[in-house]
Each structure stands twice: as C-alpha cells, then as structure tokens.
C-alpha cells in the first residue's frame, strides 16, 4: 500500500485521470524455520534442500507427531482420503493442483500434508492456493510440506510400516488484507480503445524487490512522466497501471479484469491490449520478447493481437541492430491475466531464473552458467541488484512500441489481423518457458 501511495503522489502533478481499485488479498508469513524429523532415528531433514514449507500451507504454530498415511492415488478425489483422520497425508504430485490435494486432505481431517515429487527435479514450489484466488475463496489451514524425489522415496518406504511416526513443526500465519491497483489515464485518446501498460508494485517477503519489480514499476512511472511531458494526445487511450499482489498469483490484474467483466462490461470491452513490464534490470540479463505459443483454448483475436505486438518489439530491436531472445507468454506475470480473458498482450523481460550458456554469453556478456538474476526472490534484490545497460535498453523498446500502438489508426483491426512472427535469425534465438505457476 505504501508503494502505491508514493506512486500516487508522483502522479498527482501529471495531467492524468488518477483512480484506483481496492481488493482483498491473502498474505502468508513463516515465523520460524520448519522441521521434519523421523522420530525412531531422530533423523532431521534439511529445510529448503530435502523439504520446504509451502506458501499458504497452514496457519498456526504446529508441533505434530503422527503417522504417515500413504495416499495410493494422486489425491484428487475425496474418496482417496478414507481413513485418514489425525494422520499426515502423504500424497504424490501430479494430476491436479497442490491446493486440491491439500484442501481435500484437510476436509478428511488430516493433521498435515506432505507432497512428494514423483520424478527427479526441484522441490515442489507451488502456492497452496486455488488459481486464480478471489475474496471468499477457501484457504488451507493445516501445514503443507513439499519433499524431494529422494526423500519422498524414503518416506514412502517407511510409511509401509504404519507404526513409524514423523515430527513436523510449522509456525505460519495466513490472513487477508486490503491492497490496491493504481491507474493513470490519458485524458485524450479513443476511450473505446484502451491500451493498458502495467507493472506490479509488490515484492516477495524475502527481498526488497529492486529488480522484481521496482525496475518494472519505476519504468512505467517514467514512461508516464515522459508521455505527459510531450503534450501529445494519443489516438488510443493509454492507461498506466500499477498492480498489487502479483506475487500471490496475479491477484491485482486478475481482480481488475474480473471486476470489469462482471460489473462494467462496457469498460471491459474498451480494453484493446495489455503490456507488461516485470524484471527489466536483471544483472546477468538476457533480453526476452514475449511470444505467444498457439493455444486452441485462447480466442484467435488474442493470439493474432499478441503476435502483432511481438512483431513490433522485434522490429524495434532490428532497427537498433540489437539481439534478443523470446519467452513464452503462457504464465509468469500480469500479461497472463489478459491472455486468460482473450485480450492480446505483450511483454519484454530481462530474465529471472533463466541460465546463461556460452552462446548467450557471447551475445550479451555477463556470467556463464549463472541465472539472469541470482538475487531473484532473495534478500539481495537490493539497490545494487540491477544492470544499467539493460535498464537503458528495455524502457526505450517499450516506449517505442507504446508510441506506435498509441498512435495507430484502427488499432483493433491491426490486432485482429495479427502479424507473422518471422525472424531472419530464428535458429539462433531461444524461446524460454516461464516456469511460474499462476
């Protein structure tokens, strides 16, 4: 809320139409390090290596000693949890969301839930929330842990002997709180053809959020300031937006679009497209233009329009003779809230957990075999965690695309027509997947 108040103060000196939207978001806090111990051997597993306390899993100070109850199916139906009461539900990953598994286990009076990976890979990392979450939707109150593939195999073996007990400790809080989205509209421009350029204002609890997403939200503010400094009137209305609660599952952008769709359909219909800036100053940067992968569930107009926006970014990079890669727009940040609603979207991104290999090092410099932002979602995402080089590049690219879109005659017609995504060096460009689950 404080960051939104500060941005609002900066916007008051601009000739924009300032408004906001308040909504309710869940907040989760972990107050102490969780623990997981096999009582018979006093075998303690390592937090964040062998297991992790999942976000939005549990609310309270729990010291649980109980038997593991192996769920033989995937835990996606209430019938999977017969005879569970008082025990720790031990559930394989897959087939449905972690929230579904945990919520059904809670309904069967499980004392806690442990989700284990069924294949080699990182620890389970999803939020224990329905996606999307809106005010009034349920929350899980029992602790929910995720364990690695190897620990899962070990626990599965000992769960066969139902006399063995596990000690599980978790001290967390879940509560709901009001937060807001903030908007600054150009007074001019076609009100029936609105371009939304947004960035999220919130950060994760672990870090100050300078790159994620101070870099994006500050860029949107600077673009708004520079736009109004020109004195130009766009042909299409621009709505600069600062979203709340992105880190909790795109809650700000999703709440905004849902509210309009349900309560102000006329205003919802004015939205021509959404642009998004999230993490645009990564120290070990990889410039990535959002590219929409074909999905038959998304309306053709959204696919075509997203392709048109992608081509504008590509044209800008070609004009300055600069390299770029691609990133799929199937998840990851607030652009996805628009895609879900069938609205064209575009993004440009400097990287989060994408690893830089030797060919990428040759293109962009930086560190080999290191991710784009080694402080991603960590306490070191501070005032030293940015690259001025990429911060000089990405805002200019977005300004170029925004100016083109804002001044297009027949914007919606252009978006419907789409554009072929053709790259002269397509074989040299990587398309990264965004691994966020939203």
Residue from 246, 247, 325, 340 carrying the catalytic annotation: 246
CATH number at residue 376: 3.40.630.10
Last residue of a domain, one of 174, 208, 231: 174
How far is CA 206 from each of CA 4, 140, 212, 377, rounded to the nearest angstrom?
20, 22, 11, 6
CA quadruple 365, 366, 370, 371: dihedral sign: negative
Determine the structural domain holding residue 83 and report its residue range.
29-174
What kind and span of H or E run contains 221? helix 216-230
Kindly state whether residues 138 and 205 are assigned to the same domain. no
- Domain CATH number, residue 45: 3.50.30.30
Write phi, then psi, for 284 (nearest 5 degrees).
-105, 55
Report the residue count for the chain. Answer: 438
pLDDT at 165: 83
Whether 24 is in a domain gets the answer no
- 201, 166: one domain: no
Burial 306-330 (b: 16+ CB within 10 A, else e): bbbbbbbbbebbeeeeeebbbbebb
Whether residue 21 lies inside any domain: the answer is no
| Structural domain includes residue 169 | yes
Q: pTM for the full model?
A: 0.92
- 248 with 124, same domain? no
pLDDT score, position 102: 97
Q: What are the Cα distances from residue 43, in Å, to 148, 164, 168?
A: 16, 12, 12
**Closest-CA residue to 239 (of 173, 280, 183, 178):** 183
- Chunk the chain into consecutive blocks of 10 residues (it has 438) and report each block's average pLDDT, rounded to whole numbers: 91 97 94 91 91 91 88 94 93 94 97 90 83 93 94 84 81 94 98 99 92 98 98 97 96 98 98 98 98 75 92 97 93 93 97 96 97 96 97 98 98 91 66 70
Determine whether 328 is an active site residue: no
The confidence score (pLDDT) of residue 7 equals 97
218 and 141 assigned to the same domain:
no
Burial of 117 (0-12, 13-18, 19+ CB in 10 A): buried
Give the end of a domain, one of 147, 174, 201: 174
Q: What are the DSSP calls for 319-343, one per residue?
A: HTT---EEEE-SSSSTHHHHHHTT-
Q: What's the structural domain count of the chain?
A: 2
Q: Domain check: are 8 and 62 in the same one?
A: no
Residues 11 and 86 occupy one common structural domain: no
Structure tokens at 396: 């200019």
- Do residues 223 and 326 both lie within one domain? yes
Please report whether residue 23 resides in a domain: no
Q: Specify which residues 19 forms β-bridges with.
A: 183
Asked whether residue 212 falls in the same domain as residue 74, the answer is no
Judgement on whether residues 318 and 199 belong to the same structural domain of the protein: yes
Which three-class secondary structure state does DSSP give residue 102? Answer: helix
Distance CA 197, CA 240 (A): 5
- The pLDDT of residue 438 is 55
Spatial CA neighbour of 173 closest among 55, 327, 8, 343: 55
- Do 130 and 33 lie in one domain? The reply is yes
At 385, is the secondary structure helix, strand, or coil? coil
Report the C-alpha gap between 181 and 198 in whole angstroms: 10
- Say if residue 203 is in the same domain as residue 82: no
Q: Is residue 91 part of a domain?
A: yes
The Cα 102–Cα 146 span in angstroms is 11
Concatenated DSSP letters for 29-87?
EE-S--EEEEGGGTEEPPBTTTEEE-TT---EEEEEEEEEEE-SS-S-SGGGGTT-TTS
Residue 386's pLDDT is what? 96
Q: Which of 127, 147, 174 is the last residue of a domain?
A: 174
pLDDT at 323: 96
- Quote the pLDDT of residue 125: 75
Pair (165, 284) in one structural domain: no
pLDDT tens digits, 88-142:
999 999 999 999 999 999 999 999 999 998 887 778 877 899 989 999 999 999 9
Whether the CB-CB separation of 170 and 139 falls below 8 Å is answered with no
């Amino acid at each position: 809320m404080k960051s939104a108040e500060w941005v609002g103060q900066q916007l008051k000196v601009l000739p924009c139409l300032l408004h906001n939207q308040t909504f309710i978001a869940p907040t989760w806090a972990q107050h102490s390090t969780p623990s997981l111990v096999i009582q018979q051997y006093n075998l303690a597993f390592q937090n964040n290596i062998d297991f992790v306390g999942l976000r939005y899993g549990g609310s309270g100070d729990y010291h649980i000693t109980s038997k593991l109850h192996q769920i033989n199916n995937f835990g996606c139906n209430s019938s999977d949890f017969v005879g569970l009461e008082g025990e720790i539900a031990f559930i394989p990953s897959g087939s449905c969301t972690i929230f579904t598994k945990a919520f059904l286990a809670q309904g069967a009076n499980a004392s806690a839930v442990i989700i284990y990976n069924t294949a080699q890979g990182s620890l389970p990392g999803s939020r224990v929330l329905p996606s999307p979450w809106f005010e009034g939707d349920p929350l899980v109150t029992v602790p929910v842990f995720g364990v690695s593939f190897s620990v899962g195999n070990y626990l599965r073996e000992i769960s066969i002997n139902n006399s063995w007990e596990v000690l599980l400790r978790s001290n967390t809080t879940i509560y709901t709180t009001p937060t807001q989205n903030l908007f600054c509209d150009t007074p001019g421009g076609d009100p029936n053809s609105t371009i939304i350029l947004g960035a999220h204002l919130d950060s994760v609890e672990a870090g100050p959020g300078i790159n994620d997403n101070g870099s994006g939200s500050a860029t949107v503010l600077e673009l708004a300031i520079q736009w109004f400094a020109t004195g130009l009137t766009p042909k299409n209305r621009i709505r600069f937006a600062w979203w709340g609660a992105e880190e909790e599952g795109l809650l700000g952008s999703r709440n905004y679009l849902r509210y309009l769709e349900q309560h102000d359909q006329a205003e919802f219909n004015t939205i021509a497209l959404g642009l998004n800036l999230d993490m645009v100053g990564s120290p070990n940067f990889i410039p990535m233009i959002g590219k929409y992968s074909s999905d038959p569930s998304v309306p053709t107009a959204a696919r075509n329009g997203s392709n048109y926006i992608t081509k504008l970014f590509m044209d800008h990079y070609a004009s300055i003779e600069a390299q770029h890669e691609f990133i799929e727009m199937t998840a990851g940040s607030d652009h996805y809230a628009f895609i879900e609603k069938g609205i064209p979207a575009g993004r440009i991104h400097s990287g989060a957990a994408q690893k830089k290999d030797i060919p990428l090092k040759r293109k962009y410099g930086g560190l080999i075999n290191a991710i784009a932002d080694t402080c991603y979602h960590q306490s070191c995402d501070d005032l030293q965690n940015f690259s001025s080089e990429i911060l000089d590049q990405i805002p200019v690219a977005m300004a170029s695309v925004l100016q083109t879109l804002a001044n297009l005659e027949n914007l919606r017609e252009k978006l419907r027509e789409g554009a072929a995504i053709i790259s002269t060096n397509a074989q040299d460009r990587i398309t990264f997947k965004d691994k966020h689950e939203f």
